[in-house]
A = this chain, B = another copy of it.
Amino acid sequence: MKVRTIYDFLNEVSPFEYQEEWDNSGLNVGDYNQEVKKIYLSLDIDESVIEKVEDNSLIITHHPLIFRGIKRVVPNSFSTKFLIKLIRKNVSLIAMHTNFDKTHLNNYFATKVLGLSGVAEDFVFYSDVFMSFDELVNLVKDKMNLEKIKVVKTKDFIEKVAITTGAGMSLLSGIKADCFLTGDIKYHEAMDAKARGISLIDIGHYDSEKYFTDVLYKAIDGEIGFDVEIIKINSQNPFSLI
């Protein structure tokens, strides 16, 4: 199957034109005319992923490999190092990032992982929870299977939560909820939320988005055609808490 055919299929599943202006979803590396027999799914590229992926295949990641324009391809950064490795293995890479957040990933995390119901607005899922902050934290830890979680507590009781997988703190000024669940929360952002009276639960960038492979697998397996094999691998969380 040609990469072009798969790209067109993915474009129906989650249109690439839904991506944000700053995003770089779509074919990052490779060739639309390449014939592939294996499609790998992973949140990201890392060494373990590169090792597992067979030559002449396609990998679909959540995060683009390239964000900013590259002027020197020297293996001294994330983008250039793995760009070189993919090219040598003749592996094409398609990223489904902010388009997929909007159409699939955020909703899946809120409803299937956390088991909440509610409505989505662009990148934010809202749910009326009516429970104590401590209960909410326990629910999240339980559903995400986490031992420890970083929080900013400003209220004892939460009526409504807002949820954005990945790194959502740039959306804070528009959040209309008592508590915001997102990842990659920085100190000044936490101070700002606390001043606004909005509690925070840091669900982790990796931990809240690692479901990408499952969600995409379900959306395309059995639909994309018989002559390609779809394999879920996953990149590893770079962080460990020790």
Residues of A within 8 A of B (CB): 24, 26-32, 44, 46, 63, 66, 68-78, 81-84, 87-88, 137, 148-153, 166-167, 173, 183-188, 190-196, 202, 204-206, 238-242
Contacts and interface: CB of A to CB of B under 8 A. Distances in A.
Contacts of A184: 186-187
A148 B241 contact: yes
Given A30-B74, A66-B72, A82 B186 contact: no
A206 B152 CA distance: 13
A196 B80 CA distance: 10
Contact of A78 (B46, B195, B242): B195
Nearest to A137: B242
- Count copies of this chain in the complex: 6
Contacts of A69: 68-71
Contacts of A204: 187
5 residue pairs, one from A and one from B, having the closest CB atoms: A69-B69, A187-B205, A78-B195, A190-B238, A78-B192
A30 B80 CA distance: 10
With most chain B CB atoms within 10 A of its CB, the pick from A31, A32, A183, A191 is: A191
A83 B74 CA distance: 11
21 contacts: A28-B72, A31-B74, A44-B191, A46-B194, A66-B71, A70-B70, A70-B71, A77-B173, A77-B196, A78-B194, A82-B195, A87-B88, A148-B148, A150-B239, A151-B241, A153-B240, A184-B187, A187-B205, A191-B238, A193-B238, A202-B239
A166 to B, nearest CB: 8
A77 B187 contact: no
Nearest to A152: B238
